[in-house]
């Protein structure tokens, strides 16, 4: 029996092909198994990482948006919140990356449009050639795509040249020229814009002069720190009359808020710094005004000297320095935010189960105030009498009942006793629609000082402290009235040298514009 050689070869070929196909299939299966194992590991990592990030996100959101500790310094909290917000955005970005499938496109975040008032510098990106790369024919315009990016450049310095042409009359032998422009610093080199920039940098952006000097050096401008100090001092002296006029307006207001905060004062004789104080006075009925008064101590005499013949309502905490004022026809108004802080500290420390009911009753008073904000005075007074008075009556009864049973030396007893002692001043706002529930306006005005005093380090002298207080008063009031401090100070420093004293009110920040 003969065997067909061609048939045998064909079978051998088919067998080899089948074996090769099986080998390819096994290799593919092994490759897919490896990919599945790798994907499972990646998936497990992602799931674990997502859990960690979500836990971190929840903790950060609680820290940022949850109940806040009233013990944290406001300036520290501002820096803390900025850091938290940066971390939250970073975690959100990583979470989005982990939750997306590898092939999915990342969701584009919603962006606010760039401000229309900013100048535009156009950069055109034309093709390398105006002919088609496929056929060589000329290209026809069909529109354009536009992408906008926000950009900036460091501080730009320039020299402002004031040229005064002189003209002669040959007939009468006289010379005519425009009068030279007056300046806050006579024969000085700084223009009003640069002076305003230095003042805002130091007292609004908390940049001490040595840091400003370094910034200017990067722009190729050498300015000695002593020169910057001289400019700051001269500008402060020139601006003092504005603060005096602003103080006269403040003392005409029926309600003034007052508070104080410590600052350091250089004591050359002792070779160290002494503690001085910035007293802050604020009025918000009408265009807001804030004035800082630099004092070498915390004595109540400083407040008495500043307020002078003022006979309105004074909103303060329980600092003893103000007590003498209330015997001179000034009416004390208490601060519920201060009382709330006492009970919050007890609650945060878990020192008393009674702190939370107190906080709930105080929160009800604030809820009522939020509802009646913006109402006409008669309607606001009626709502306070109708809604807030019963809450206050119940709260007073609750305090009296609890105070007799509280341990005398406990934190709760101290908080209750303090609230009871302050009660007449605390409830005064209910009977007068013009009175506020707390002293928060002046506390907000003091808040930037906590940042600034870490950067100024100290006031070099009492006069320097008074000049700094004057400049900060103008900046704070300009901000409260919606003015950009640099624009305000530049305009005032330009106009001040020739502005009539009788029209000084036109330059005050709460009347400017």
DSSP labels, 211-267: HHHHHHHHTT----HHHHHHHHHHHHHHHHHHHHHHHHHHTTSSEEEEEEEEEEEEE
Q: Is the pLDDT of residue 457 over 60?
A: no
| Structure confidence at residue 175 as a pLDDT band (50, 70, 90) | confident
| Structure confidence at residue 106 as a pLDDT band (50, 70, 90) | very low
Q: Which pLDDT value is given to residue 70? A: 45
pTM: 0.75
Q: Is the pLDDT of residue 362 over 90?
A: yes
Q: In the block, which residue shows the tokens 């019963």?
A: 390
What DSSP assignment string belongs to 9-69? Answer: HHHHHHHHHHHHHHHHHHHHHHHHHHHHHHHHHHHHHHHHHHHHHHHHHHHHHHHHHSPPP
Reference 395, options 368, 438, 361; nearest CA is: 361
- Least confident interval from 3-12, 148-157, 399-408: 3-12
Residues 294, 459: contact at Cβ < 8 Å? yes
Cβ of 68: how many Cβ atoms within 10 Å? 13
Q: Take residue 336 and report the two structure tokens written for it.
A: 């519920």
Cβ of 36: how many Cβ atoms within 10 Å? 10
Q: Take residue 275 and report the two structure tokens written for it.
A: 């503690």
Q: Take residue 448 and report the two structure tokens written for it.
A: 């930037």
| Structure confidence at residue 69 as a pLDDT band (50, 70, 90) | very low
Work out the average pLDDT over 309-314: 94
Q: Which pLDDT value is given to residue 6? A: 64
Q: Return d(Cα 236, Cα 471) in angstroms, integer.
A: 6
Q: Is the pLDDT of residue 71 over 80?
A: no
| Of residues 328 and 222, more confidently modeled | 222
Cβ of 316: how many Cβ atoms within 10 Å? 25
Q: Return d(Cα 444, Cα 439) in angstroms, integer.
A: 9
- Least confident interval from 74-78, 154-158, 264-268: 74-78
Q: Which pLDDT value is given to residue 270? A: 67
Cβ of 167: how many Cβ atoms within 10 Å? 9
Q: Which pLDDT value is given to residue 140? A: 81
Q: Is the pLDDT of residue 48 over 50?
A: yes
| Structure confidence at residue 390 as a pLDDT band (50, 70, 90) | very high
Q: Which pLDDT value is given to residue 358? A: 94
> If you count DSSP H runs as helices and E runs as strands, how many of each does the chain have, helices first?
15, 7
Q: Is the pLDDT of residue 59 over 90?
A: no
Residues 230, 413: contact at Cβ < 8 Å? no
Q: Return d(Cα 226, Cα 351) in angstroms, integer.
A: 53
Q: pLDDT of 238-291, one tens digit each?
A: 999 999 999 999 999 999 999 999 988 877 666 677 889 999 999 999 999 999
Q: Is the alpha carbon torsion for 488, 491, 496, 501 positive or negative? A: negative
Work out the average pLDDT over 361-367: 96
Q: What is the mean pLDDT of the chain?
A: 85
Q: Is the pLDDT of residue 216 over 60?
A: yes
> Of all residues in the chain, what percent carry a pLDDT higher than 90?
45
| Of residues 62 and 164, more confidently modeled | 164
């Amino acid at each position: 029996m003969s065997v067909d050689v061609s048939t045998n070869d064909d079978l051998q070929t088919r067998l080899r092909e089948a074996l090769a196909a099986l080998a390819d299939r096994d290799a593919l299966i092994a490759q897919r198994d490896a990919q599945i194992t790798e994907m499972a590991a990646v998936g497990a990592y992602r799931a674990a990482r997502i859990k960690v990030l979500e836990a971190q996100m929840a903790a950060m959101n609680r820290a940022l948006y949850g109940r806040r500790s009233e013990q944290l310094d406001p300036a520290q909290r501002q820096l803390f919140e900025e850091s938290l917000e940066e971390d939250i955005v970073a975690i959100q970005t990583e979470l989005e990356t982990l939750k997306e499938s590898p092939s999915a496109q990342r969701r584009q975040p919603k962006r606010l449009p760039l401000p229309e008032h900013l100048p535009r510098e156009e950069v055109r990106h034309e093709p390398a050639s105006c002919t088609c790369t496929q056929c060589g024919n000329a290209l026809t315009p069909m529109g354009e795509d536009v992408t906008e990016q926000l950009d900036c450049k460091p501080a730009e310095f320039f020299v402002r040249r004031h040229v005064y042409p002189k003209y002669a009359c040959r007939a009468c032998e006289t010379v005519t020229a425009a009068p030279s422009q007056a300046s806050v610093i006579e024969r000085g080199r700084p223009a009003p814009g640069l002076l305003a920039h230095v003042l805002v940098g130091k007292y609004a952006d908390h940049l001490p002069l040595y840091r400003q000097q370094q910034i200017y050096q990067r722009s190729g401008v050498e300015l000695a720190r002593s020169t910057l100090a001289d400019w700051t001092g001269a500008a402060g002296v020139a601006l003092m009359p504005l603060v005096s006029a602003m103080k006269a307006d403040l003392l005409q207001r029926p309600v003034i808020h007052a508070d104080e905060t410590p600052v350091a004062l250089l004591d050359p004789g002792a070779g160290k710094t002494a503690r001085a104080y910035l007293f802050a006075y604020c009025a918000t009925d009408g265009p807001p005004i804030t004035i800082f008064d630099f004092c070498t101590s915390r004595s109540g005499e400083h407040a008495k000297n500043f307020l002078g013949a003022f006979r309105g309502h004074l909103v303060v905490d329980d600092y003893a320095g103000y007590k003498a004022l209330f015997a001179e026809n000034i009416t004390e108004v208490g601060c519920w935010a201060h009382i709330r802080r006492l009970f919050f500290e007890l609650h945060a420390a878990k020192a008393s189960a009674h702190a939370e009911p107190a906080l709930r009753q105080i929160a009800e008073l604030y809820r009522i105030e939020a509802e009646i904000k913006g109402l006409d005075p008669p309607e606001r007074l009626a709502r306070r009498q109708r809604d807030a008075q019963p809450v206050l009556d119940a709260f007073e009864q609750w305090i009296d009942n609890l105070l007799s049973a509280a341990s005398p030396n406990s934190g709760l007893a101290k908080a209750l006793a303090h609230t009871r002692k302050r009660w007449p001043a605390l409830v005064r706002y209910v009977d007068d629609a013009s009175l506020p529930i707390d002293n928060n306006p002046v506390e907000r005005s003091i808040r930037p000082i906590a940042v600034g005093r870490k950067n100024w380090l100290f006031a070099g002298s009492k006069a320097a402290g008074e000049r700094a207080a004057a400049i900060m008063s103008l900046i704070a009031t300009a901000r409260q009235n919606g003015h950009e401090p640099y624009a305000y100070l530049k305009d005032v420093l330009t106009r001040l040298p020739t502005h009539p004293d009788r029209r000084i009110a036109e330059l005050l920040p709460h009347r400017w514009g």
